[in-house]
Amino acid sequence: MPPWAARVACLVVALLVINPVARADDLADFNAALEAASAHNRVAIGYLRTGNNDLASLEIDRLRDAWIRFTERFSGNRPDIFAGNALYGKLFTVVSARLVGADLMLKMGRLDAAGDSLNAIRGDLYALRKASGVVVLADCVRDANNAMDALMVYNDRALNWDDATVRSGVAEKALNYGADLNRCDGIASEAVRTAPEFRRLVDGAKASLTLIPKAIATRDADLLHRVLIELRSFDNLLAFRYG
């Protein structure tokens, strides 16, 4: 086990034993500290997707350092909203193990496996917050990513437009994705919501969605294909920056 992983494990055990019932009064501090780590995770995943090993390794190192700081502060200092959430106690050891796995996979040149480990961390955090009703922008973006995956099923130039279930399916999945975008727009902080980058991505995706009813009405698979590719681009950038 790498020295940093052993350090995290010792911190988790020590803090849980010494201070098992401590509570953090401010959930905002918890979310901010977790977001500091998650930002490095997103960037590392992005570099792994593009095959940039060196920069991915650097971001994983930064993620690890941020996770250690987060562990030192919160492994034994549970915010009240997570009281009774069994996932909270498991989070620290699970994420530490995933970081070990990501590091090993990267060193072995298995970039996809390293990315899987980092994406699994996103899933761990999502599950923790969802179980306690905590709502943050990153989780909304994850929901939007899933809705986009469902819409991308129709990225097929050979769609059978004569099938009413196909037409209704495209329309329904597009509406679902748009609803998630609107929800994320509402969840974002004022600083994020008004940021030019966020507005470009969200407003750009919403503009693209307005073309889908036309594609359905004209049974234009080429138009639908172009719109879906554009939407996927916006969606990937949202995940990379805010997910």
- Give me the DSSP letters along 27-46: HHHHHHHHHHHHHHHHHHHH
Note whether 127 and 152 are same-domain residues. Answer: no
Same domain (yes/no): 29, 91 = yes
Q: Are residues 106 and 20 in the same domain?
A: yes
Q: How many angstroms separate the Cα of 101 from the Cα of each of 8, 78, 98, 110, 178?
A: 15, 26, 5, 11, 36
Q: Find the domain containing 112 and state its range.
A: 3-131
> Mind listing the pLDDT tens digit for each residue in 85-105?
999 999 999 999 999 999 999
pLDDT of 1-18, one tens digit each? 555 444 544 444 444 443
pTM of this structure: 0.81
Specify whether 142 is located in the same domain as 93.
Answer: no
**Are 118 and 147 part of one and the same domain?**
no
E-strand stretches of 189-235? none
Residues 119 and 162 in one domain: no
